[in-house]
Every structure is written in structure tokens, then in C-alpha cells.
């Protein structure tokens, strides 16, 4: 059985069928891509699996456990982490605070520790700090540790967001358009970052992308979504050459000819 | 004007500022973290004062010495008032977290009325006296005379504010609170149980309000069930004037309010055609003027809420 298994998931927004009959299975270490035109329902699928919305129908299992309708923090602590298309960072918190915050569930000190600095709290915080620096170094943003995230260059902010997701020690990472708005050089860097992360942590990754280059380089499996339904799936090459996919992106080419 | 009166007024301002600041802290934390005006907070302050009164009366009835009664009153009143705050959050606000903000705001007003009339029903409308848990002593420093209670209130408030500041800056809960203030919906995805943080925020704010209530009872030992309203309003003003997301801001704005009020009174009493009853008219005109130039408050960042996910 796959690590993450989605069966016949569907979701309605009022009368709109935003996602219909969606199936997905991700094995440990597998990289799966999700492409599709704007408004196809890609981010909705992320939100449904990560617990922000509760699916109208269908079932999501993670590590053999049914997580359909669980709270986002519960799903997150089971080992699912994600980033956001529009980068949801906490503007006036430092980079280090972002990473430390993501270690929240690993801190076990109590209120007494909070006010009086017990040895346990001091030890836990020292460990978390050390680990945070390790991750920041890994993403090449450790020189920004004490800066507010708003003051960082765009590419660095993206890396901080990814480091924040990874420091929760997930088994599967959801990336929502990690290269949006990037220059070609930044794009190549990001592909390398994702590849490095995938190899180092032997992570499973579920990736939303618009750029076929990223999908080709990283994914073993791709699904193309349109109007909430899977239009095509297979290897990146198969999906890319599927006439239905070309039509969804470019319109009916025969009509032009 | 002589130095004596000036220094005494500074201490009066510090004392009032301390009440405003401590109550404003609870307002500001809830407002920053949950984007919610907890209009019941002034009445939680009043309830805390009455709880302290009840606890102290019972303990004094057991003929315990005041040096035992005072710390026990503080601890028990804080604990019980925190519980009330957490119940208010659970029953009144959590079900309405995604409701329009106006619905959540009137929830606060309604809970406030319930607390006022609840205390009225239990205790009655007559003014009651807060027991003298600390013997008032007058301190003479050269020409300046102060009471020990004033000094204690100011010192205790500053200690609590410093404690809260450290809590929010350094602890895991404090970090979660700050993160929630900036981008609420992302926080649970880091494995943070936001409902617990919301509960903790209400609990701590209410506990602080109880301490403010005890200090108020020691300084002005006459209580009535409606005493929370005006203090609640003024602390609310301080919380907004301080700026969203700023603990320090709320405290500084609280003291500013204290200083403006006391010194406007002082000046108004010395102008022949004015009287001290002009105090709030002039004070709040000044604060309105400040807000016009700093609409996000003194320390608030200009903030465009992204509530969509």
C-alpha cells in the first residue's frame, strides 16, 4: 500500500464541483507532479489533503491511517508538510524564528519552563536552534538567520519557506508552485534545491507546477487536471504529448488550423 | 507649581497607566492573534476583582494573616478568572471564529452584559468594599509623599509586562502567538494546535485582568458591577493606540493614556474657565488626533490582512 492514498476524493464549493473523483497514490521517495490551467483545482486538492478543507466525498489515508477530516495540525504532525503558492511567511518574524516555530510540536516544556527557564527548556531550545541552523545552512540562507523575512530577496524567502516545511521532519512534502515568478537562473537553482532535498531526506514530493521544465526534470509521475477532473496521467513525456492536455492549455488547435 | 505636586501627579499617572496597560495587554493579545475585539474584557476585569474580593473575604474569615491572604488571593483570583476567560473563548468565540467580525464583536458585548448582570444578581448593586490586604503607608521622600500601594502597583505592573514581553518573544507559545498574528491559517500546518493557543491567550489575558482588579481594589476599595465598563473602553483605546501585534505598544499606550488624563486634569484645574470634568473630553481629543496621524497605532505595522487561503 502506498504511503499517501487518495480515493475518489471530491469537493463542492456550493454548487461548483471543484474536485471530482480524484485518485492519487504516492510511494515513499516518489515525486509526483500536478499540472493544469489556472483554476483547475490544483491548490484545492492540496488544501483538501492537508486538512484545510474537508472533502465532500472520498477518503485520504496516510501511512495506513485515515486522515479524512482531521485537523491541519494533526495531519502536519503525522508527517505532511507544505509550502504555498503565494508564500505564507510571518512578515515580521526572523528567519530563525520561522524555523524554530516549525519545531513547535517537538518542544515539551511546560508553562513553568516558559517563565523560569528550566534546564529542560534550555536544552530543548539549544537543540532546536542547532537543528534550525543546520537546515538554514542546507538551504543556503543561514546568513539571514536574524533578519526579518520581509527583508530577504525573493528566492531566499522561497528557501526559508521550504526549510520551514522540512524542519517539521515530514515524510511527504507538498510544494505549491515553488518556482512561480522566478527568473530562469533562480528556476535552475530551485530545481537543484528540490532535487537535493529529495535525495537527502528520501522524501516523497507532491508538486504543483506550471513550468513543464521543472516537471520533466523532477517528476516520475504527472497528473494533468482541468475543471477539477484528471485529464491525463503518466510520465511527464506522455502527459506533455497528450492532445487533451495541449487542448486544455492552448484551446482546440484544430480550430485554428 | 511645585515639584511635590508634579512628582505626585507622575505617580498618579503611572498608577492609572498601569491599570490601563495591564488590561490593554489582554485586549491587545486577543485582538492581535485572533483579529477579535473581546469587548467583554473590561467586565472580565470587574469579575476578577469580585472573585478576588470573594476569595479574600473567605480567607480572612478563616483568620489567616494578610501576608498569607494576599498571595493566595492573587493566585486563586488569577486562576479562576483565567478559567472564566477560557470558558468565554470556548463558548462565545470559538464557534464564531469564521463568522463576520461584527458577530464576534457583539458576542463580546453580550458576554459583558451577562457578566455585569450576573455579578449584580449574585452580589447585589450596592457598592462593596475591598478588604485592606496591604496596610496603606505613606512614604516621605523629602517634600514628596507617596503611598506604598502606588509604588507596588507600578513595580508589579512593570514586572508583569516585562514577563509577558519575554513570554511572547521567547517561548514556543509566544512564537505561535506572533505567527498567528501575522498569518493565522498557516500556523496549524506547522503542527501547532491553534485552539490551545487561543485558549491560552484568553486565559493569560484574563489572569492579568484579575491582577489589575486586585491592584484596583487595593487602591480604590469601592467596587460596583459596572466598574469594568469605562476601564474596558479606555484599555481598548490603549490596545488600538499601541498598534496591532505589539505588546510593548499596548503598555506604552496605556501609560500614555494615564499621563494624558492626569496632566490634562492638572492643567484644567488651574485654568479658571475649565474644570477637571473636562478631562476625558480633552484627553480623548488628543488621542484621536494621534490616531489620525498614525492610523495603525504607535507600533503597529501597516497591515493588509490576508485571510484567504
Contact A99, A132 (CB under 8 A): yes
Q: What pLDDT score does A95 carry?
A: 93
Which set of grid coordinates corresponds to residue B85? Answer: 476567560
Instruction: Supply the range of the domain harboring residue B13.
Output: 3-128+140-306
Mean pLDDT, rounded, for B274-284: 87
Mean pLDDT over all residues of chain B? 89
Residue B133, in any domain of the structure: no
A179 and A244 belong to one structural domain: yes
Which residues from A are below 8 Å from B171, CB to CB? 114
Phi, psi angles (nearest 5°) of residue A99 = -70, -40
Q: What pLDDT score does B50 carry?
A: 96
* Three-state secondary structure call for residue B179: helix
Phi, psi angles (nearest 5°) of residue A102 = -70, -15
Predicted structure pTM score: 0.86
Please, what sign has the CA dihedral across residues A230, A234, A235, A238? Answer: negative
Of A161, A178, A213, the residue at which a domain comes to its end is A161
Give the CATH number of the domain where residue A255 resides: 3.40.50.300
Q: Each residue of A58-75: pLDDT tens digit?
A: 999 999 899 998 999 999
Residue A59, in any domain of the structure: yes
> Could you tell me the CA-to-CA distances from A227 to A157, A210, B13 in Å, in that order?
31, 16, 64
Mean pLDDT over all residues of chain A? 88
Instruction: Supply the range of the domain harboring residue A184.
Output: 1-79+170-257
Q: Each residue of A219-233: pLDDT tens digit?
A: 999 999 888 888 888
**Beta carbons of A92 and B301 less than 8 Å apart:** yes
Q: Which of A76, A90, A107 sits opposite B189 (nearest CB)?
A: A76
Residue A192, in any domain of the structure: yes
Number of separate domains in chain B: 1
**Beta carbons of A168 and B173 less than 8 Å apart:** no
Chain B residues bordering chain A (beta-carbon distance below 8 Å): 163, 167, 171-176, 178-179, 182-183, 185-186, 188-194, 245, 301, 306, 309
Q: Which of B176, B193, B309 sits opposite A101 (nearest CB)?
A: B176
* Three-state secondary structure call for residue A206: strand
* Three-state secondary structure call for residue A5: strand
Q: Is the pLDDT of residue A250 over 80?
A: no
| Residue recorded with cell 509566544 | B174
DSSP class of residue A4 equals E
Query: CA-nearest residue of chain B to A163?
Result: B190
Would you list the DSSP string of A193-226?
A: HHHHHHHHHT-EEEEE-S-HHHHHHH-SEEEEEE
Residue B134, in any domain of the structure: no
> What percentage of chain B reaches a pLDDT higher than 90?
60
Q: What pLDDT score does B138 carry?
A: 87
pLDDT category of residue B184 using cuts at 50, 70 and 90? confident
Number of separate domains in chain A: 2
pLDDT category of residue B136 using cuts at 50, 70 and 90? confident
**Beta carbons of B175 and A77 less than 8 Å apart:** no
Helix (H) or strand (E) holding A229: strand A229-234
Query: CA-nearest residue of chain A to B303?
Result: A91
Q: Is the pLDDT of residue A22 over 70?
A: yes
A73 and A94 belong to one structural domain: no
Residue B135, in any domain of the structure: no
A147 and A179 belong to one structural domain: no
Give the Cα separation of B261 and B255 in Å (integer): 10
Please count the other Cβ atoms lying within 10 Å of the Cβ belonging to residue B83.
14
Residue A186, in any domain of the structure: yes
> Could you tell me the CA-to-CA distances from A244 to A44, A217, A254, B40, B196 in Å, in that order?
22, 22, 12, 58, 48
Helix (H) or strand (E) holding A173: strand A172-176
A56 and A133 belong to one structural domain: no
Mean pLDDT, rounded, for B27-36: 90
Of A104, A132, A161, the residue at which a domain comes to its end is A161
A111 and A190 belong to one structural domain: no
Give the Cα separation of A94 and B179 in Å (integer): 11
A186 and A152 belong to one structural domain: no
Please, what sign has the CA dihedral across residues A143, A147, A148, A152? Answer: negative
Give the CATH number of the domain where residue B285 resides: 1.10.3470
Please count the other Cβ atoms lying within 10 Å of the Cβ belonging to residue A196.
12
DSSP class of residue A66 equals E
A156 and A194 belong to one structural domain: no
Which residues from A are below 8 Å from B307, CB to CB? none
Q: Is the pLDDT of residue B157 over 90?
A: yes
For residue B122, the distance in angstroms to the closest alpha carbon of chain A comes to 33
A257 and A178 belong to one structural domain: yes
Residue A84, in any domain of the structure: no
**Beta carbons of A100 and B301 less than 8 Å apart:** no
Query: CA-nearest residue of chain A to B304?
Result: A91
Angle, helices B3-34/B148-170, rounded to nearest 10 degrees:
30
Query: CA-nearest residue of chain B to A167?
Result: B190
Least confident of A67-71, A144-148, B65-69, B269-273: B269-273
Which residues from B are below 8 Å from A168, CB to CB? 190-191
Least confident of A21-30, B80-89, B103-112, B138-147: B138-147
Of A131, A161, A191, the residue at which a domain comes to its end is A161
Contact A190, A158 (CB under 8 A): yes
Contact A9, A60 (CB under 8 A): yes
Q: What pLDDT score does A107 carry?
A: 85
Mean pLDDT, rounded, for A189-193: 90
Mean pLDDT, rounded, for B269-277: 84
Amino acid at each position: 500500500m502506498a504511503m499517501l492514498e487518495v480515493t475518489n476524493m471530491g469537493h463542492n464549493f456550493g454548487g461548483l464541483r471543484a474536485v471530482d473523483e480524484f485518485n492519487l497514490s504516492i510511494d515513499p521517495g516518489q515525486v509526483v507532479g500536478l499540472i493544469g490551467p489556472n483554476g483547475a483545482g490544483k491548490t484545492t486538492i492540496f488544501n483538501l489533503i492537508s486538512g484545510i478543507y474537508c472533502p465532500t466525498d472520498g477518503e485520504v489515508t496516510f501511512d495506513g491511517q485515515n486522515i479524512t477530516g482531521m485537523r491541519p495540525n494533526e495531519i502536519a504532525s503525522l508527517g505532511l508538510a507544505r509550502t504555498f503558492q503565494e508564500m505564507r511567511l510571518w512578515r515580521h518574524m526572523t528567519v530563525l524564528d520561522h524555523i524554530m516555530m516549525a519545531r513547535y510540536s517537538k518542544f515539551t516544556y511546560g508553562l513553568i519552563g516558559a517563565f523560569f527557564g528550566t534546564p529542560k527548556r534550555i536544552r530543548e531550545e539549544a537543540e532546536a536552534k542547532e537543528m534550525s541552523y543546520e537546515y538554514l545552512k542546507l538551504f543556503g540562507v543561514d546568513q539571514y538567520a536574524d533578519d526579518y523575512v520581509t527583508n530577504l530577496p525573493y528566492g531566499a524567502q522561497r528557501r526559508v519557506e521550504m526549510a520551514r516545511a522540512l524542519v517539521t521532519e515530514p515524510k511527504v512534502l507538498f510544494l505549491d508552485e515553488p518556482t512561480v515568478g522566478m527568473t530562469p537562473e533562480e528556476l535552475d537553482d530551485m530545481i537543484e534545491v528540490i532535487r537535493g532535498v529529495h535525495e537527502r531526506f528520501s522524501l516523497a514530493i507532491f508538486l504543483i507546477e506550471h513550468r513543464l521544465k521543472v516537471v520533466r526534470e523532477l517528476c516520475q509521475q504527472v497528473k494533468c487536471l482541468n475543471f477539477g477532473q484528471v485529464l491525463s496521467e503518466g510520465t511527464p513525456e506522455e502527459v506533455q504529448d497528450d492532445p487533451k492536455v495541449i487542448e486544455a492549455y492552448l484551446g482546440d488547435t484544430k480550430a485554428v488550423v | 507649581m511645585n515639584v511635590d505636586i508634579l512628582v505626585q501627579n507622575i505617580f498618579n499617572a503611572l498608577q492609572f497607566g498601569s491599570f490601563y496597560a495591564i488590561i490593554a495587554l489582554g485586549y491587545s493579545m486577543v485582538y492581535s492573534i485572533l483579529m477579535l475585539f473581546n469587548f467583554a474584557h473590561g467586565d472580565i476585569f470587574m469579575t476578577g476583582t469580585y472573585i478576588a474580593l470573594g476569595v479574600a473575604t473567605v480567607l480572612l474569615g478563616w483568620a489567616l494573616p494578610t501576608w498569607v491572604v494576599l498571595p493566595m488571593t492573587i493566585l486563586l483570583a488569577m486562576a479562576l478568572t483565567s478559567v472564566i476567560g477560557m470558558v468565554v473563548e470556548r463558548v462565545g468565540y470559538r464557534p464564531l471564529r469564521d463568522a463576520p467580525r461584527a458577530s464576534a464583536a457583539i458576542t463580546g458585548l453580550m458576554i459583558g452584559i451577562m457578566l455585569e448582570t450576573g455579578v449584580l444578581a449574585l452580589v447585589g448593586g450596592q457598592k462593596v468594599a475591598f478588604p485592606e490586604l496591604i496596610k496603606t503607608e505613606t512614604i516621605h521622600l523629602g517634600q514628596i509623599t507617596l503611598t506604598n500601594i502606588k509604588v507596588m502597583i507600578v513595580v508589579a505592573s512593570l514586572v508583569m509586562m516585562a514577563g509577558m514581553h519575554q513570554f511572547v518573544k521567547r517561548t514556543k507559545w509566544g512564537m505561535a502567538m506572533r505567527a498567528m498574528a501575522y498569518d493565522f491559517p498557516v500556523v496549524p500546518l506547522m503542527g501547532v494546535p491553534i485552539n490551545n493557543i487561543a485558549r491560552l491567550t484568553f486565559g493569560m489575558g484574563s489572569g492579568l485582568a484579575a491582577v489589575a482588579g486586585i491592584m484596583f481594589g487595593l487602591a480604590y476599595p469601592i467596587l460596583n458591577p459596572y466598574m469594568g465598563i469605562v476601564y474596558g473602553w479606555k484599555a481598548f483605546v490603549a490596545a488600538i493606540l499601541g498598534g496591532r501585534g505589539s505588546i510593548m505598544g499596548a503598555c506604552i499606550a496605556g501609560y500614555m493614556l494615564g499621563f494624558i488624563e492626569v496632566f490634562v486634569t492638572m492643567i484644567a484645574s488651574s485654568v479658571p474657565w475649565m474644570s477637571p470634568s473636562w478631562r476625558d473630553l480633552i484627553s480623548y481629543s488628543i488621542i484621536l488626533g494621534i490616531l489620525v496621524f498614525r492610523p495603525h497605532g504607535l507600533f503597529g505595522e501597516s497591515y493588509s490582512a490576508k485571510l484567504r487561503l
